[in-house]
Chains A and B, each alone.
Chain A
Amino acid sequence: MLLAELQMETIPKVGILPTKGSVVTIERQEISQQTTWMLAVRDARDRSAFARLFDYYAPRLKGFLMKSGASSEAAEEVIQDVMLTVWRKAGQFDPHKSQVSGWIYQIARNRHVDVLRKTKKPLPEELSLVTHDDDASQIIALEQEVDKLKTALGRLKREQRDMIERAFLGEHSHQEISDDTGLPLGTIKSRIRLGLDRLRHELKGMR
């Protein structure tokens, strides 16, 4: 196993994005720690796994929320709500469809926006068929797609990455990013599309 691969597998706490120019051939061998914890919370109501999820995500959520303009106190309020939602709605987590980070990002972003706008954002129907019959190879395949996304993100120039970040922090529209960077968004989009194809086929299989 290459060193870069090893790092991706073993140091999820720092340097999630490979730095520009590093070796980034990632082939996942196993389900990520975060997903393992999340499944333990979902299926076994495992509190220590929940605490690990908290330790991993709370500081990242706080960084993200504060960059989105929240004060330290407001960010921690949102984090409490988000992590309680993670515990309560764990049954809706489907690792074939979402990755833990994306799932939690969505909960946090929606919560943050609801607080700011003082109204509840309308959400799509939940898919009725959340399969709890997990297929490790499929989960790994999805995580691999997300790894590729992270790699694509990591390869962008600093200012281009900032642009993408700001879009997800809610400061810029996708169109503005596209206007400013053009090509990199194409890269991101083609990565998204790859992931989409997989997701799409899975969704069809679930109906």
Chain B
Amino acid sequence: MSAITHHISQDLLAAYAVGHLPKAFSVVIAAHISLCDECRASYEALQALGGAVMESTGSEKVSDRLLTSVLDRLDDDWDDETAYERSGIYPGPVMETMNGRQPRWKKLGMGVKQDILLADAEGSVRLLYIPPGQAVPDHGHNGQELTLVLQGSFSDETGHFGVGDLEIADESLEHTPIAEDGVACICLAATDASLKFNAFFPRLLQPIFRI
């Protein structure tokens, strides 16, 4: 695996750390941190700073019975929420979003496939499967788009993206990602609004495929 060269911006990471991102984006950030030591270190450093801030914001007296009630519950049974583990190329947070299943690919044409993992009012996150040499239809953005490579690689006007690399795109970027030779490129892509496609044909398909 080549080294990760495209990382999470500090602003996005901070927004993620304090819980400000839409869930669709958080999945991508959590997946990238799972793959990237450098961003994990930045994330840990933000937590350390958060801890320092928490300690300095001032105390409020807690109820007298609070400690007792916590101590009384220490031996209670508890559900250890399943921490989803990485499965093949899919990091834990992606497995969690899929509830532990494998992708259910739906064909988009030209060998391109997708699986929408989550779509709500704030945004959506999906897996994209792009055969080598194949382009994802050229599109502009209504909002921000995060694309994390899980397998293979793609390149576009802004550079080369291999496994673990994260592309951050906004309205201003008109790009044409093309999967590079080798294995098919599988990406995790989140958008905070529907992508608008430039080509006539894909735009017709947009409502159908919810791209």
A residues at B contact (CB < 8 Å): 16-17, 47, 50-51, 54-55, 58-64, 66-67, 72, 75-76, 79-80, 83-84, 87-88, 97-106, 108-110, 112-113, 117, 119, 121-127, 145-146, 149-150, 153-154, 161, 164-165, 167-170, 173-175, 188-189, 192-193, 195-196, 199-200, 203-204, 207
Taking A59-B62, A63-B58, A153-B53 as contacts, is the C-beta distance between A174 and B44 under 8 angstroms? no
Give the docked Cα–Cα distance between A146 and B70 (Å).
Answer: 29
* Nearest CB in chain B: distance from A172 CB, A: 9
Specify the chain A residue showing the minimal Cβ separation from B85: A125
Question: Can you offer 13 A-B residue contacts whose CB atoms are under 8 A?
Answer: A60-B54, A75-B60, A80-B69, A83-B70, A88-B80, A101-B48, A104-B51, A164-B49, A168-B50, A174-B14, A192-B46, A199-B44, A207-B37
Q: A124 contacts B33, CB within 8 Å?
A: yes
Which of B19-27, B104-112, B159-167 lies at the interface? Answer: B19-27
Q: Which chain A residues border B69 with CB–CB below 8 Å? A: 80
Specify the chain A residue showing the minimal Cβ separation from B118: A122
Taking A126-B83, A203-B37 as contacts, is the C-beta distance between A88 and B78 under 8 angstroms? yes
Task: Classify chain B's interface size.
Answer: 35 or more
Taking A123-B30, A124-B93, A125-B93 as contacts, is the C-beta distance between A192 and B42 under 8 angstroms? yes
Q: B49 contacts A188, CB within 8 Å?
A: yes
Q: A195 contacts B45, CB within 8 Å?
A: yes
Q: Which of A99, A126, A167 has the most chain B CB atoms inside 10 A of its CB?
A: A167
Give the docked Cα–Cα distance between A98 and B41 (Å).
Answer: 10
- Determine if B131 is an interface residue (Cβ-Cβ < 8 Å): no
Give the docked Cα–Cα distance between A199 and B46 (Å).
Answer: 12
Q: A122 contacts B97, CB within 8 Å?
A: yes
Q: Which chain B residues border A66 with CB–CB below 8 Å? A: 60
Give the docked Cα–Cα distance between A123 and B33 (Å).
Answer: 9
- Determine if B138 is an interface residue (Cβ-Cβ < 8 Å): no
Q: Which listed residue (B15, B53, B56, B62) contacts A76, Cβ 8 A?
A: B62
* Nearest CB in chain B: distance from A151 CB, A: 10
- Determine if B172 is an interface residue (Cβ-Cβ < 8 Å): no
Q: Which chain B residues border A17 with CB–CB below 8 Å? A: 52, 55-56
Give the docked Cα–Cα distance between A195 and B86 (Å).
Answer: 28
Q: Which chain B residues border A168 with CB–CB below 8 Å? A: 18, 49-50, 53-54
Q: A106 contacts B50, CB within 8 Å?
A: yes
Q: Which chain A residues border B56 with CB–CB below 8 Å? A: 16-17, 150, 153-154, 161, 165
Q: B52 contacts A146, CB within 8 Å?
A: yes
Q: Which chain A residues border B15 with CB–CB below 8 Å? A: 173-174
Q: B18 contacts A167, CB within 8 Å?
A: yes
Q: Which chain B residues border A83 with CB–CB below 8 Å? A: 70
- Determine if B59 is an interface residue (Cβ-Cβ < 8 Å): yes
Q: Which listed residue (A55, A98, A174) contacts B11, Cβ 8 A?
A: A174
Q: A55 contacts B67, CB within 8 Å?
A: yes
Give the docked Cα–Cα distance between A101 and B71 (Å).
Answer: 20
Specify the chain B residue showing the minimal Cβ separation from A85: B78
Q: Which listed residue (A47, A79, A112, A193) contacts B62, Cβ 8 A?
A: A79
Give the docked Cα–Cα distance between A121 and B14 (Å).
Answer: 14
Q: B92 contacts A102, CB within 8 Å?
A: no
Q: B97 contacts A58, CB within 8 Å?
A: no
Give the docked Cα–Cα distance between A201 and B59 (Å).
Answer: 35
Q: Which chain A residues border B42 with CB–CB below 8 Å? A: 192, 196
Q: B67 contacts A124, CB within 8 Å?
A: no
Q: Which of B15, B54, B56, B91 has the most chain A CB atoms inside 10 A of its CB?
A: B54
Give the docked Cα–Cα distance between A79 and B78 (Å).
Answer: 17
Specify the chain A residue showing the minimal Cβ separation from B69: A80
Taking A150-B52, A189-B10 as contacts, is the C-beta distance between A124 and B34 under 8 angstroms? yes
